[in-house]
A and B are shown apart, each in its own frame.
Chain A
């Protein structure tokens, strides 16, 4: 089955630790995205990538880092510099087509809690 997988589903981290969230897709999509979801704020874009070895900051990139070494994978690292990392993180992917029917497909998400 084609789709997007995120792991783990739940993640706990102590303050001051870096943690990496996994995102893998087998849809052969060129573009991948990371969003953060907080109550009452909708989804906000952290980083996105349109091609291997290239990525761009979104609206809230501070305290996060990403890599895109393979087309299928786009891991997100939440660093100790992120002041309020407890949130729900969603990964998505899409083709690079500009048409309306190029929808973003979302993974099941990772809930990160800082203890």
Chain B
């Protein structure tokens, strides 16, 4: 079974600075997808960014980018120019490309943004 590990329960960043959230996963599959979800205080889950495992190029979405290291099974999220609205719980998630559409989530990282 696949597992996703987020080793940082909490992180803090100063407004306008850059922060990186870590995620590692374990799988025997070669084709899969990885996601970062944001859960603000409203608790509404929002998809931030996605990565296809067979693509070497790291995904970017505006201020959000990932560092995908397939051999190391690592998938970190970098947030540049942090804003107060980035404060939230961030979840890393894995989905098999072959076996259904179920998501496997990490435990989450709380990101605090200081003004």
Contact = CB atoms under 8 A, between A and B. Distances in A.
Q: Is the interface of B mostly helix, strand, loop or mixed?
A: loop
> What size tier do the contact residues of chain A reach?
20 to 34
Contacts of B91: 42-43
A96 B47 CA distance: 18
Interface residues of B, number: 25
Interface in A43-78: 43-45, 48, 50, 58
B97 interface: yes
Given A42-B91, A42-B108, A106-B44, A96 B101 contact: yes
| A-B pairs, 5 with minimum CB distance | A106-B45, A42-B105, A43-B105, A100-B33, A42-B107
Interface of B: 4, 6, 9, 33, 35, 42-45, 47, 50-52, 91, 97-98, 100-108
